[in-house]
Amino acid sequence: MADIAKQLLEDISGFPTLSPGETIAQNRLLDVIRRHYERTGYAPLETPLVERPEVLSAKSEGEITTQIYGLRLLNPEEGADDAKELALRFDHTIPLARYIATHSREIAFPFRRSAIGKVLRGERAKDGRYREFLQADIDVVGAGELSPLHDAEMVAVIAGIFTELSIGAFTIRINNRKVLAAIIRHMSENEDLIAPSMRIIDRLEKVGEEKTLAALTELGFKESNARMMLDMLIAKRSIAETIALLEQSLPGEAGVEELKAVLEGIEALGVPEENYAIDLSIARGFDYYTGSVFETRLDAHPDLGSIASGGRYDDLASAFAKDKYPGVGISIGVTRLLLRLIKAGLINAEAQTPARVLITTAERDALPTYLNYAKELRAAGVSAELYLEDKPLDKQLAYADKKGFPFALIAKREHLDKQIVILRNLATGDQKELSAADLTNYIK
């Protein structure tokens, strides 16, 4: 085996390695997300990372088409299939569309599925973008039709997750692309302006009002119309005020009816009022969305961007199947969310171990006794590591400190003889003498 230059061992830009502490924090985050997805009835569906390039290309649009990774064997055996027909997924939606197209007969619709897994995109590694990241999605897909109550349930699921995560107040911003299109149409009769102006509006928060105005004028809007439109989109109003305004200015518009149905559903599903709002400026980049669109912000951390986004689409499996499959979904970019929450100090990633207790082993011959302590703790749901190296006690305690265990259990000969243990709180240094029988209760 050859030695290898040190810089080759460093992380590759865009492909993050999480420390044990970060991974533990990630798993806690995923546990909450997964529990909410499951308890609402979204079934997990595990599709491979690898898809055919033709499948990915048939449903990709915009810059993503330049970001698809293909696979090839680096050192193929002679005569081996080369891997030119393989590529890596860049989202969970295309694998879902393929699954529905190939399994439509067995599926009971509406089909609710969750997908938690890695996706890969060959983005330029700037702006802290990741090329490999974990994405946690749910979608519900109907055969031919799908009630707007499903859009409402997406909002309820997001609200449930971020309430439980306790990372501060958040607002789910809701819009409908048909409403936004109607507003744009109101300001210019040129239908061709709708799609590009949505893309401009999508970047409003990033680039600011003035630049957006300039871009819209350049696109072909009268400046006064562009100004009026922006004013309408960004004015702060209550939900009732916004709905009243829309009913007045866009009478009979289908998007307004959809938006109202979704909002009624959200209320019926009991989502607290402070967790959601209408935001007419939400556009989402993809042309793919055709109705409801959602974004979620932490009120105290707008700089984090949207932490859970999604929307409604008319036809999931177009290009793959003749039948029409409308759906609605949301996606949480877990890797980005995790690392930003850690950086913002909103979640803790300090402890380098999942265990609560290090059981030190001061007397080597008492291993079965120490093991019994471990067994009792584990049976009670308390994870416990048994120190197995033959080292002096002070080295064992230094190990416990460095790794961030909350507690260390100490039982030297004199304690073993009396059937007691010392439990040391490693954060405070406090020690407590416990009978072996009381140990589990105390830690719990």
Q: Scan residues 102-121 and list those touching a second copy (CB under 8 A).
A: 102-103, 108-110, 112-113, 118, 120
Number of C-beta neighbours around residue 199 at 10 A: 16
Nearest to 262 by CA among 158, 139, 151, 145: 151
CA distance 277 to 169: 13
Query: According to CB under 8 A, which one of 355, 409, 411, 439 is a site residue for a second copy?
Result: 355
> Considering only residues 185-244, where is the footprint of a second copy by CB under 8 A?
none
Nearest to 187 by CA among 133, 157, 139, 223: 223
> Considering only residues 40-59, where is the footprint of a second copy by CB under 8 A?
40-55, 57-59
Interaction of residue 352 with a second copy, rule CB under 8 A: yes
Query: According to CB under 8 A, which one of 91, 139, 153, 258 is a site residue for a second copy?
Result: 153
Residue 145: CB minimum distance to a second copy, A: 8
CA within 13 Å, CB half, 348: 7
Residue 281 — φ and ψ, nearest 5°?
-90, -5
Query: According to CB under 8 A, which one of 138, 141, 146, 174 is a site residue for a second copy?
Result: 146
Residue appearing with tokens 């409604």: 312
Here's the x/- map for a second copy, 361-380, by CB under 8 A: it reads as ------xx--x---x--x--
Residue 384 — φ and ψ, nearest 5°?
-145, 130
How far does CA 412 lie from the centroid of its chain? 47
- The piece of 237-245, 339-347, 352-360, 424-432 that touches a second copy (CB under 8 A) is 352-360
Q: With contact defined as beta carbons under 8 Å apart, do 213 and 226 qualify?
A: yes
> Considering only residues 385-444, where is the footprint of a second copy by CB under 8 A?
385-386, 388-390, 399, 402-403
* Cβ closest to a second copy, residue 47 vs residue 217: 47
Residue 29: CB minimum distance to a second copy, A: 12
CA angle 33, 266, 334 (to 5 degrees): 20
- The piece of 1-9, 190-198, 253-261, 306-314 that touches a second copy (CB under 8 A) is 1-9
CA distance 75 to 65: 27
CA distance 255 to 421: 68
Residue 194: CB minimum distance to a second copy, A: 19
* Cβ closest to a second copy, residue 106 vs residue 414: 106
Interaction of residue 66 with a second copy, rule CB under 8 A: yes
CA distance 352 to 119: 26
Residue 255: CB minimum distance to a second copy, A: 20
Interaction of residue 350 with a second copy, rule CB under 8 A: no
CA distance 350 to 16: 18
* Cβ closest to a second copy, residue 44 vs residue 208: 44
- The piece of 79-87, 172-180, 194-202, 420-428 that touches a second copy (CB under 8 A) is 79-87
* Cβ closest to a second copy, residue 315 vs residue 438: 315
Residue 388: CB minimum distance to a second copy, A: 4
CA distance 239 to 163: 21
Query: According to CB under 8 A, which one of 33, 91, 99, 292 is a site residue for a second copy?
Result: 99
Interaction of residue 128 with a second copy, rule CB under 8 A: no
CA distance 405 to 397: 10
Q: Is residue 87 within a helix (H) or strand (E), and if so which, with residue range? A: strand 87-88
